[in-house]
Structure 1
Amino acid sequence: MEYENDYSYIRDNYSRLILNSARSPKSAIAISKETKISLGTVYRRLEILKKYGFLKISGKIENGNKVMIYHNKPKRYHVQNPRISYILDIIDKNPGLSFRDLQRFSGYPMGTLSNSLSNLEKDSKIIVKRSKRRSNYFPRNISPSEFPTLINLRKETSRRIILFLVENQKGTFSEIRNFANKSPSTVSLTLTNLIENNIIRRVSGLRPYFELQNIQLIHNALMRSEPNTIDKMKDRFADTFSYL
């Protein structure tokens, strides 16, 4: 079962009460009675908490029926920890950010942040996309197909090119270079990278031009990383997004 914005559910009061109740092994019915939360809500939160590794699950036989028992894992890296909650919130609001950006946003020392991120990755609370030069961090509810776009939206030249093509739908090398205000070599390398990541494509002809590969994917990535930007773009370029 999939839920949108899982971490918003994990951080809510229902999940905190359920995790606190499950410090000793209990069935869903027992948790519902203790927390005064409806059984349906308890089951929905248990599914999410189980998905992200917060609970140990076991079974026992009661009156001839198998009953699932839930136990809150005794780990330090739960979202109730203010530091962990803060780091997860930063990643959730800034998907694809690098370690350096995360350190700048959080203000945590390198060692503290590195250790927390390592344990969050081991506990399957975040996804880390590694390359030769850097690591980029994502919440668990984002599809890997969005990773390249989100990463490139965090790079100045790539972002300017993507936004130019969203606004204009297509552009020649000269038009893109003038808008990006970068050297020809920088723009050329960036365009090559965007093509290799299947974000844009080059259309051949008498006057070759570049366009976005998948406007829906760009729209989704912008909604996650820059909702204010996409709102402005919807107002100004309604035709571009009319089919989304």
Structure 2
Amino acid sequence: MKYISYYHNPRVSNLLRIVSESPGLTFTEIMRRSGLANGVLSHYLGNMEKRAMIRSKKGRKMTWYFLPHDPIEEDSIIISLRKETSKNILTFLLTKKLATFVEVTRAAKKSPPVVSITLSQLQDLGLIKVTNGFVKKYEVANPDTIMRLSEKIDSTMFEKIKDRFEDTFSYF
């Protein structure tokens, strides 16, 4: 079927809506949300990228999709918030403010080596800071940005963080 323009194609409109509502989705997640088969989705995303309707950021094993006007400097933050361990660490540090490695490891519910690697990656991205002392402590470098982007990709995540923050101070 011919459409007035590529933008009027219902599949293209649906894919644009999916990516705009939740930037940084992977191919697999877009496939799940759109209901399109692998080959069909690959065709549409490729054509949309050629037409600069979307852009992608490729990793070693995954590709994440964004709208062209989404700030490129926020890509790494959004991708980190989509990874389970990074998200757990960042949300924990948002509520705790300062935490030791042991506390972060318990909160992330991952092995110490996995947490150590993830903390290093988050530090390299400038998302967390380390205060050196007798015991190293970790904190979020820019909490406002993390909160804003958490809400952008998953509004329920923001509510959970806010609830934890309120619970923390209700005991004092």
TM-score range, shorter chain: 0.7 to 0.9
Which residue pairs with 1:27 in the alignment? none
With over 3 angstroms needed to count, the CA separation of the structure-2 counterparts of 1:76 and 1:169, relative to structure 1, is: farther
5+ residue gaps in structure 2?
167-172
- Larger Rg belongs to: 1
With over 3 angstroms needed to count, the CA separation of the structure-2 counterparts of 1:105 and 1:209, relative to structure 1, is: same
Which residue pairs with 1:179 in the alignment? 107
Q: Does 2:123 match 1:195? A: yes
Aligned residues: 165
**C-alpha distance in structure 2 between counterparts of 1:228 and 1:77, whole Å:** 35
**Distance apart, 1:79 and its partner CA:** 2.9
Report if aligned partners of 2:3, 2:9 keep a CA contact under 8 Å in 1.
no
Which residue pairs with 1:156 in the alignment? 84
**Distance apart, 1:213 and its partner CA:** 1.3
With over 3 angstroms needed to count, the CA separation of the structure-2 counterparts of 1:235 and 1:134, relative to structure 1, is: closer
Which residue pairs with 1:121 in the alignment? 49
With over 3 angstroms needed to count, the CA separation of the structure-2 counterparts of 1:234 and 1:129, relative to structure 1, is: same
**Distance apart, 1:100 and its partner CA:** 1.5
**C-alpha distance in structure 1 between counterparts of 2:164 and 2:120, whole Å:** 28
Report if aligned partners of 1:77, 1:119 keep a CA contact under 8 Å in 2.
no
Root mean square deviation of aligned Cα: 1.9
5+ residue gaps in structure 1?
1-73, 239-244
How does the TM-score come out when normalised to structure 2? Answer: 0.87
**C-alpha distance in structure 2 between counterparts of 1:162 and 1:234, whole Å:** 13
Deviations 1:93-120 (A, max 9, x none): 2211111111122221111111111111
- Greater shift, 153-162 or 98-107, is seen at 98-107
**C-alpha distance in structure 2 between counterparts of 1:111 and 1:137, whole Å:** 17
Which residue pairs with 2:170 in the alignment? none
The code of the aligned residue for 1:109 comes to: A
**Distance apart, 1:85 and its partner CA:** 1.0
- Out of 31, 42, 46, the position equivalent to 1:103 is 31
Per residue, is there more helix in 1 or in 2? 2
**C-alpha distance in structure 1 between counterparts of 2:84 and 2:28, whole Å:** 15
Q: Does 2:137 match 1:229? A: no
Q: Which runs of 4+ in 1 moved over 6 A?
A: 74-77
% identity of equivalent residues: 35
Per residue, is there more strand in 1 or in 2? 1
**Distance apart, 1:204 and its partner CA:** 0.8
Which secondary structure state, in structure 1, belongs to the residue aligned with residue 6 of structure 2? coil
**Distance apart, 1:75 and its partner CA:** 7.9
Which residue pairs with 1:220 in the alignment? 148
With over 3 angstroms needed to count, the CA separation of the structure-2 counterparts of 1:219 and 1:77, relative to structure 1, is: farther
- Greater shift, 224-233 or 196-205, is seen at 224-233
Q: Does 2:59 match 1:131? A: yes
Superposition pairs of residues 45-124 of structure 1, within 5 angstroms:
78-124=6-52
With over 3 angstroms needed to count, the CA separation of the structure-2 counterparts of 1:76 and 1:149, relative to structure 1, is: farther
Deviations 1:155-197 (A, max 9, x none): 1111100100111112111001001111111111111111111
